[in-house]
Chains A and B, each alone.
Chain A
Amino acid sequence: MDDTLTQEPRRSPRRSIGQMELVALGLLVVVFGGQVVAPYLDGPQFTTWSTIFLAIVIQSTPFLVLGVMLSAIISIVLSERVLQRVVPRNNVLAVPVAGVAGVGLPGCECAAVPIAGSLIRRGIAPAVALTFLLAAPAVNPAVIVSTAVAFPGEWDIVAARFIASLMTAVLVGWWCLSRGSRLPLRKLEQVLDESSSTRERFAATVRHDFVHASGFLVLGAVLAAAVNTFVPRAIIDTVAGQAVLGVLTMALFAFVVALCSESDAFVAASFTAFSDTAKLVFMVVGPAMDVKLASMEAGTFGGAFARQFVPLVIGTAVASASLVGWWLL
């Protein structure tokens, strides 16, 4: 399994037979020769990991495609005038507006990363675009409904999730604003300049954004599926009684398990041994930051940025959720 992966990239690209031909050959071997190796790979651990890994990739890819299409529309079709009319000129005000605007993108978190990238590319302040990125997966109607279904009758939890998620997004947005140009964001520019046709630019932008995020998505899925399959919940339950350790464990678990924001409420509800605040932390950290998102953000905005942004978001999310939990729950 691993051999196929590491060997393919090692082939030299500059022989008379190009890289593409070699990769194509490798893929054909996989497609037609796969059945020969398959019987050796059927341990229940491995097949369960494969099912969950493939499930995460398959679930996320359509949302990522949707995200890169919308992002290409923002990058190419929308005029500067429209964008400027929608976004308040004052950035301090624009940050909370972007947070609330997240209500309008009902989708998984994967769609939000390329959209935030394209907003930055179009000259929107990074702080505003990043607020949207954090808020959209957490406060949209699909997530609110699924949370209400997972916690029947407990409207305080639904409200607490909405408030804490929005608070996280806005606080991080204001922090980014205060950093201004010191934010180590990779420079994002239009993929093709104005000389190419709109159709060419559209296709190039979609492909560029997809390629820059999808490899990282797969990497995140590899890790999340492993955690999902191999880390028994019993280990997590051992700390349920302790308030602080419980909260931190739930934050860490939300980060590594990387669930879809539309279904994480059901998983949160199943942690009955934990306090409501710890469950809230799980639901606020998850959509804002997880291993899949961190990986994609490193790909889109650069590693230096991700190293600051990821811990900051997690810290803010834990603090907001704990505060709101203490106040409401």
Chain B
Amino acid sequence: MVVAVRLPTQGLLLMFLGAVLLRIAGTDAYLRYVVEWMKWPLLVSGALLLLLALGPLLREDKDDDAEHAHGGEHGHGGEHGHGGDGHGHGVPRVTWLLVLPGIIAFVVSPPELGSYLAERRADDLVAVSAPTEATSLGGDGPVDLPVEEFMWLAQVADPGLEEQQVTLTGFVSYGGGEDWYVTRMQIGCCAADAMAYRVKVDGAERPERDEWVSVTGTHVPGTGVEPPFEVVLAAASVEVVDEPLQTYE
């Protein structure tokens, strides 16, 4: 049997969820889970949840819940409560689950997606679509390129890639044998729809999984044009770098 959620406790649960949203959006932690523009919606809805929690919290000493005196809806208590103890309370008992996001956020503080998911999703990705902004190639020094754009240039066999030194930055994920990849995840809405973009690195010792590296090298001609679009970078140097603030591309 699971005890019904009483009104003051409802307030507490809402407050907890609101606090979790504010904490995640107030630090840069939200970038691990959702896209950048969600910061303000998260702050606003977190604040609204706190406000909403004030009502029930401030009148805790009153009779349990004035709202129960009204709605005919609440007569159906047994219907949506899992325990069905005939308590007749209106709030579903799954409401207890509202503590779960907070527990996960505070205890686990989940990191950004890394090699575990990237390796599982490695074969999902197919053709890469054209980047919205193209980086200009050419010049003497190596050019910093997003992993996705590099894959796209290889896929369309862009002549600018020939002999061009490029630097790709990402985390390390493993393949079969001694293969390793410089990898970036990309999210559309939230981390649930993440896709892995990766470029195989040739000619360098493989670092630890999930280590952030900048790999400088040149495209191995002919790789990444045909499915499964595995692009190979012949590495001249591999440098361990700090993890960037925004890990998704």
Q: Which residues of A contact B (CB under 8 A)?
A: 1, 4-5, 8-13, 18-20, 23-24, 26-27, 30-31, 34-35, 37-38, 41-42, 44-48, 50-59, 61-62, 65-66, 69, 108, 146, 149, 152, 186-193, 203-204, 206-208, 210-212, 214-216, 218-219, 222, 224-225, 228-229, 232-234, 257-260, 262-264, 266-267, 269-270, 272, 295, 298-299, 302-304
Picked from B13, B76, B106, the residue with its CB within 8 Å of the CB of A30 is: B106
A207 touches B94 (CB 8 A): no
* B116 engages A191 (CB within 8 Å): no
- What B residues does A46 contact at CB under 8 A? 108
Chain A residues positioned under 8 Å from B129 (CB to CB)? 149, 152
Query: Chain B residues with Cβ under 8 A from A11's Cβ?
Result: 3
Contact between chains at A192 and B192 (CB < 8 Å): no
Kindly list chain B residues whose C-beta atoms are within 8 Å of the C-beta of A50. 104, 108, 110
Task: State whether A207 touches B10 (Cβ < 8 A).
Answer: yes
**Residues from chain B with Cβ under 8 Å of A47 in the complex:** 108, 110-111, 116
In-complex Cβ contact of A260 among B76, B97, B193 (8 A) = B193
Flag if A55 contacts B21 (CB, 8 Å). Answer: no
Q: Are A45 and B12 in contact (CB under 8 A)?
A: no
Q: Mark B149-192, 1 if CB is under 8 A from A, else 0.
A: 00000000000000000000000000000000000000111111
Contact A299 B192, beta carbon cutoff 8 Å: no
Contact of B190 among A55, A191, A216 (CB under 8 A): A55
Report whether B45 and A65 are in contact in the complex, using a CB–CB cutoff of 8 Å: yes
Chain B: CB-nearest residue to A36: B107
Contacts of A303 in B (CB 8 A): 79-80
- A58 B117 Cβ-Cβ under 8 A: no
Point out the residues of chain B lying under 8 angstroms from A188, CB to CB. 73
Minimum CB–CB distance for B170 against chain A, Å: 17
* Given A30-B107, A216-B94, A272-B126, A191:B67 Cβ within 8 A: yes
Q: Does B36 have its Cβ within 8 Å of any Cβ on chain A?
A: no
Which residues of the other chain, A, contact B231 by a CB distance below 8 angstroms?
A: none
> Is A214 touching B98 in the complex (CB atoms < 8 A)?
yes
Q: Complex formed: what's the CA distance from A219 to B82 in Å?
A: 13
Q: Are B70 and A27 in contact (CB under 8 A)?
A: no
Please tell me which one of the listed residues A61, A233, A234 contacts residue B17 in the complex, with CB atoms under 8 A apart: A61
CA distance A229 to B94 in the complex (A): 23
Q: Is the CB of A51 within 8 A of B56?
A: no
Contact with A along B49-63 (1 / 0, CB 8 A): 100100110001000
Residue from B41, B99, B130, B189 within 8 A of A262 (CB atoms):
B189
Chain B nearest CB from A56 CB (Å) reads 5
Once A20-B60, A214-B95, A259-B193 are accepted as A-B contacts, the answer to whether A203 and B55 lie under 8 Å apart by CB is yes
- Tell me the smallest distance from the CB of A274 to a CB of chain B, in Å: 12
Shortest CB–CB separation between residue B14 and chain A, in angstroms?
A: 7
> Is A31 within 8 A of B106, CB to CB?
yes
Cβ of A259: which chain B residues have Cβ within 8 Å of it?
Answer: 189, 192-193
